[in-house]
Amino acid sequence: MAINIVTFLVCFSVASFVISSNARRVLDSKNVDRNNGGSNFTHVCDPSRFSDLGLDVSTFGFCDSKLSYDDRAKDLVDRMTLAEKVKQLGNSAKGVPRLGLPKYEWWSEALHGVSNVGPGTYFDDLIPGATSFPTVILTTAAFNESLWKQIGQAVSTEARAMYNLGRAGLTYWSPNVNVVRDPRWGRATETPGEDPYVVGVYASNYVRGLQDVEGTENATDLNSRPLKVSSCCKHYVAYDVDNWLGVDRYHFDARVTEQDMAETFLKPFEMCIKDGDVSSVMCSYNRVNGIPTCADPKLLKETIRGDWDLHGYIVSDCDSLEVMVNGHKWLGDTKEDAAAQALKAGYSMLIALGMDLDCGVYYTNFTQNSVRQGKVKEVEIDRSLKNLYVVLMRLGFFDGNPTFKSLGKKDVCSKQHIELATEAAREGIVLLKNVNETLPLKSKKIKKLAVVGPHANATAAMIGNYAGIPCQFTSPLDAFSSYGEVKYEMGCDGVACANDSLIFPAMKAAKHADATIIFAGLDLTVEAESLDRVDLLLPGYQTQFINQVAQVSKGPVILVIMSAGGVDISFAKQNDNINAILWAGYPGEEGGRAIADVAFGHYNPGGRLPLTWYEAGYVDMLPMTSMKLRPIDSLGYPGRTYKFYNGSTVYPFGYGLSYTQFNYTLRSAQRSLDVKLRKSQHCRDIEYKDSEYTPPCPSVLIDDLECNHEFGFGVEVKNVGKRDGSEVIIVYSKPPNGIAATHAKQVIGFKRVFVKAGKSETVNFMFNACKSLGLVNYNAYNLLTSGRHTISIGDDVVSFPIQVNIKDFLPSGIHAIMVGEDHGISFPLQINFETR
């Protein structure tokens, strides 16, 4: 089955998996010039290329650069027969030799570096590897927008260089922007965490880094805006169950309320399209409320293309159409039905606006028969092909792009990119515990180190999934060996730690060391695509191993956790023998160096957790398949994510320590907003808790407002410690007290600022009231509420109120104000309105 092949590619896409050098070339390119690192293949519409094919380029309108991309794409599609058209609708587009159109492989990946997952990209002797950055969950912990964009720029430079060398395509199905709703989800490593706003900000920055061509970022015609490479936000939508206790993504029906859909699941995709101008969206395997996402007209046509105005194409997750037929058994569809359903997932003036590209073979194998059986119009195929070819034209596939022509071998695995990967890991690492300033270690005092644990000599584990072949590895063992004499012991037979026979040698090493660094955690055998967790504990004997080593250690003990999802390490948090704890995610090819730099004080950690770390008992309270974010009191289910969960945690969202201390002083703040309604705008009711005060005008529909109301503040951040350091300022808004069933707080902004010891930096924030103070009601209305909102920084280290006054429209004239039940006191109030 094709599904099993895809799963194999994903689960085993670690550094050791290499696509053969005989793999399909992305283009029908000529020989590569190995001396200058360039390729003799230029672009589709190169006149000499057409001449070599016995064709005259001047006779083909799709090669006329004077025409618009839309006109050129139409000319190309109009020249094709139906049989030729359908062969271009799969990820392995066959090309049309008689038109000079080469083959093209759409499927490449670049989640945290150029990957070899997917047939569009491969490594060989010429390009043996590419820079492998930390996995997304750790990079997100840096809370640094400029870093996220820089990584995207570096990855796209390497991708474009590999394209020039005939080893990669131009279309990359990254990033993953699904929200981590449940801590058991196996794909947390790929995502930017649990907050939909943070996920959206990460996505838009990374996409901009991948796609933007310098100088064209603000082009007015987005359908012709040049692209460096094409990015794809996935998996649309409400996809966060892979394989949990027999429930898998190929059969799962996500039952989602409209409130949760608008508030959480859709938001990152909306930001990815509106703010990032992404050129592709991938629909997911699962159903949402009974309908496969790849065949849902509301999700595809009404939302992606209508409300958000996607400038690009929609692609299926690989073999999703087969999943519709054989997994979901959707409407009893035949293969031809499934192809038609996906193409017709939405109409505009009788033209299809559904799924354009099939990662798989259903479109290519069954769409022609679907047309002949009258199940889909050929014009619907035409529209999809036009969407695809316009994106390729924007990429320079047809005309070339001189800006990137010089990129080659020298631009892959450059020193600059390797250093950026190291910096990303440093910035993301989170200091969770540091008793009596154990860290940073002092190299003058620490001469003998015990480096122990299943991740002490980690290499492939550090690069997670959707990874290619890294330029190099610096393991923790390699890095710490440069600081002193190291005694290395595994302590466990891998992450599973299935027996305790190796614990004693690790204890022996710790007894004689000046400091002991324990490397523990998870890996892709525990949390991965197609593999959700069933608990939040360290596997096997790892807990016993850590406690026993810590108990006998001569010097301070530092525990380093490598994982994506949170782990209940309450035992270590409370163990006085464990002096410090670092979370390092999966830190990429230079992860060992980054961890050692932090441990020895060459870098002051400033990362913050992008996920809540729940206690182990949380997973016993509710099934992973319950999609609601809010608590379900009738079933005893707690809420999900920091926004709706109020129970105890191991570590909360946004947690992280530093080697220095910061003080905050509010320097300026706007504390009120007046929103005046016009005659056509109306107050909306909102549910308040019993006995709570309800304002006269409780809220207004945000869609009815111009939303030009802004508020801002400045905060001075002073480093009162002795070390330079970076501070992450996370800003939350809290709704007025008394509103029922809403979030406790929500992230509305963040900035990372570097402050020298003893110095101060003033950081200014400006927010749009509709985006930052709004809430989604149970009926899915997006509302701006009256009352006293609260703006808080971090864990309420600084907070201030902002009063929103919504002034309802009242007719001019004299109104009577009466006091008391019998109106014993009354006086007139003249209300005058200016015409607006």
Q: What is the spatial distance between Cα 480 and Cα 510, in angstroms, rounded to a whole number?
A: 15
Strand order in the sheet with 280-283: 233-236, 280-283, 313-316
Tokens found for residue 177: 């922007």
Contact between 581 and 433 under an 8 Å Cβ cutoff? The reply is yes
Side-chain half-sphere of 82: how many Cα atoms within 13 Å? Answer: 13
Question: What contacts 412, CB < 8 A, 6 or more positions away?
Answer: 114, 127, 129, 130, 131, 158, 161, 162, 471
End-to-end C-alpha distance for the chain, whole angstroms: 65
Number of other residues whose CB lies within 10 A of the CB of residue 165: 23
Enclosing H/E stretch for 160: helix 145-164
Contact between 312 and 387 under an 8 Å Cβ cutoff? The reply is yes
Q: For the CA atoms of the chain, what is the radius of gyration?
A: 28
In single-letter form, the type of residue at position 808 comes to D
Q: What is the spatial distance between Cα 367 and Cα 86, in angstroms, rounded to a whole number?
A: 6
Q: Residue written as tokens 């000499």?
A: 48
Closest among 519, 520, 729, 515 to 601, alpha carbons compared: 515
Q: Please name every residue paired with 730 in a beta bridge, in sequence order, or none if there are none.
A: 750
The answer to whether 317 is a known catalytic residue is: yes
In single-letter form, the type of residue at position 276 comes to G
- Classify residue 681 by its DSSP letter: -
CA dihedral 741, 692, 784, 640 (to 10 degrees): -20
Residue 235 Ramachandran class (φ > 0 left, ψ -120 to 50 alpha, else beta): beta
∠ CA 551-552-557 to the nearest 5 degrees? 70
Strands 280-283 and 233-236: what pairing? parallel
In single-letter form, the type of residue at position 61 comes to G
φ, ψ (nearest 5 deg) of residue 497: 45, 55
Q: Considering 317, 358, 382, 399, which one is annotated as catalytic?
A: 317
Q: Residue written as tokens 């660094």?
A: 517
φ, ψ (nearest 5 deg) of residue 593: -65, -40
Distances (CA, A) of 60 to 43, 84, 343: 15, 17, 28
Number of other residues whose CB lies within 10 A of the CB of residue 636: 9
Q: What amino acid positions are annotated as catalytic residues?
A: 317
